[in-house]
Structure 1
Amino acid sequence: LLNLGIGKCKVVVGSPVGKSLDYQKPQLKIATKMPHITRKYFANKAVSIESLKLYGSIELAPLVGLSDAIVDIVETGSTMAQNNLKIDEVIMESNAYLVANKNSFYGKKEQILSLYEQLKKCIKATQ
């Protein structure tokens, strides 16, 4: 219903500083918390990958030789930089939106539209 303009982030491919991703390798190892997005992105580029689903600080995977690169969500990229990684490619950008389920919208239309108007005023006031 409304772009809130907050929570801006990107899903990126990152690799160690000083090393470039070798797309000529038979298969790249990519550590990620988002295997579906990762597989789809690299499939569209016709690049064979092994997707390693990890939890926690995936920035460590390339540093310990577990992967060639990572796919992760970043806001500023400072955590990647702190771990000696660079952003190679941006897969997608995102931010927060006000959304409503169709059934809920019809059932609670007045309340949802009231919230929509209040949020819209707040957003305009901060621009």
Structure 2
Amino acid sequence: MNDLTIAMPKGRIFEEAYELFVEAGFDLPKEINDSRKLIVEAPNENIKFILAKPMDVPVYVEHGVADIGIAGKDVLLEQHRDVHELLDLYISKCYIATAGLPNTQMNEIAPRVATKYPTIATNFYKEKGEQVEIIELNGSIELAPMIGLADRIVDIVSTGQTLKENGLVEYEKIVEISSRLIVNPVSYRVKRERIKEFVAQLKNELHKR
């Protein structure tokens, strides 16, 4: 009953979360970082990691195959999964913004916005009282203004270098993003003490930073 299953995305978030866990005193195998396995055990901590795509982490947590997950706030805002957000880990910081070609206005008749975050983009323009056509793309969002597909894009911005290299400029910042610790509601009831101890250990490390 004290075992924990944690869903984590591979890549930058995983690397920063792994470092946080180790610094917080969790005894994790070093080979987790280099493993090609999708399920990795940390027997000394009674923890099992499911390594998944970022967008899939909240799905695993919502359906209870993982007790806990680490997900970007962008994913949580986009999906609205039935999970509890327990802790801001302050890692993988970035933000979502609108961008487009320099010195260009939105088309007044049929403005179009390309993004892989349709929910976030729709809500943003709705709050501004602007009606736009959302074009959902899964990659190379920067192409859309360059080829005339859209007036603006809504995307993650980290350093702004990708926008700059593609001749785009940022127009409006929408929301700050960082990685959050989420939990399945049933797991939080059934494994409450174990999860509270886990969170407390992480909080203790975060307060040192």
Instruction: Place the TM-score, normalised by the shorter chain, in its bin.
Output: 0.7 to 0.9
- Higher relative contact order (Cα pairs below 8 Å, separated by 6+ residues): 1
Instruction: Show the counterpart of 2:193.
Output: 110
Which whole-Å CA distance do the structure 2 matches of 1:3 and 1:45 have between them? 28
Deviation at 1:44, TM superposition (A): 2.0
TM-score between the two structures when normalised by the length of structure 1 = 0.86
Q: Which runs of 5+ in 1 are unaligned?
A: none
Aligned letter for 2:104? S
Among 91, 105, 113, the alignment partner of 2:174 is 91
Flag as ranges the 4+ runs of structure 1 deviating above 6 A. Answer: none
Aligned letter for 2:128? K
Instruction: Show the counterpart of 1:56.
Output: 139
Which whole-Å CA distance do the structure 1 matches of 2:159 and 2:175 have between them? 14
Instruction: Show the counterpart of 2:130.
Output: 47
TM-score between the two structures when normalised by the length of structure 2 = 0.55
Q: Say what the alpha-carbon RMSD is for the aligned residues.
A: 1.6
Contact 2:106 2:152 in 1 (8 A): no
Figure out how many residues of one structure are paired with residues of the other and give that number.
124
Which whole-Å CA distance do the structure 2 matches of 1:96 and 1:11 have between them? 13
Counterparts of 1:1-127 in structure 2 under 5 Å?
Answer: 1-17=86-102, 19-22=103-106, 25-125=108-208, 127=209
Q: Which runs of 5+ in 2 are unaligned?
A: 1-85
Question: Percent identity at matched positions?
Answer: 37
Cα deviations by residue, 1:51-107 (Å, 9 ceiling, x for unpaired): 111121110111111111101122222211111111100111121122222221121
Which whole-Å CA distance do the structure 1 matches of 2:124 and 2:88 have between them? 25
Contact 1:12 1:71 in 2 (8 A): yes
